[in-house]
């Protein structure tokens, strides 16, 4: 028999973490919510580390604002370099056809 993993949405995780910050006993909070204590502690640690970038979902990288800006700038630079290469090739073709 194949066992399925229970998945929790971002809203549930954020509320669970906020509730665990309000209360001192993480174990009791986890029991009340029906989640494993280790899981709640992992969520709590992720939230402390990434704040609003926590719980992005599967396959979505957690990036800070600086990392997002760096990614955007690198992508822009890659596109500009590609445009320059295309223009160089076009200029080479035009200049040889003029001869």
Q: What is the residue-level pLDDT of the chain in tens, covering all 99 positions?
A: 777 878 888 889 989 999 998 988 899 999 999 999 999 999 998 888 877 777 776 766 677 778 889 999 999 999 999 999 999 999 988 888 665
Regarding whether 79 and 47 lie in a shared domain, the answer is no
pLDDT at 7: 85
Closest to 63 (Cα-Cα) out of 79, 77, 51: 51
| Domains: count for the chain | 2
Residue pair 55/46 in contact (Cβ under 8 Å)? The answer is yes
- For residue 3, is it within any domain? no
Regarding whether 21 and 39 lie in a shared domain, the answer is yes
- For residue 48, is it within any domain? yes
Backbone dihedral region of 24: left (phi > 0), alpha (psi from -120 to 50 degrees) or beta? Answer: alpha
- For residue 1, is it within any domain? no
- Interatomic CA distance for residues 15 and 42, integer angstroms: 14
pLDDT at 30: 92
Domain that holds residue 31: 9-56
Regarding whether 35 and 69 lie in a shared domain, the answer is no
């Amino acid at each position: 028999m194949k066992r399925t993993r229970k998945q929790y949405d971002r809203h549930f995780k954020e509320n669970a973490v906020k509730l665990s910050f309000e209360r001192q006993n993480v174990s009791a909070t986890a029991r009340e919510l029906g989640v494993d204590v280790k899981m709640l502690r992992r969520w709590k640690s992720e939230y402390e580390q990434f704040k609003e970038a926590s719980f992005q979902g599967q396959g979505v990288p957690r990036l800070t604002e600086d990392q997002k800006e760096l990614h955007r700038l690198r992508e822009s630079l890659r596109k500009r370099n590609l445009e320059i290469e295309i223009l160089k090739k076009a200029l080479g073709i035009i200049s040889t056809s003029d001869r």
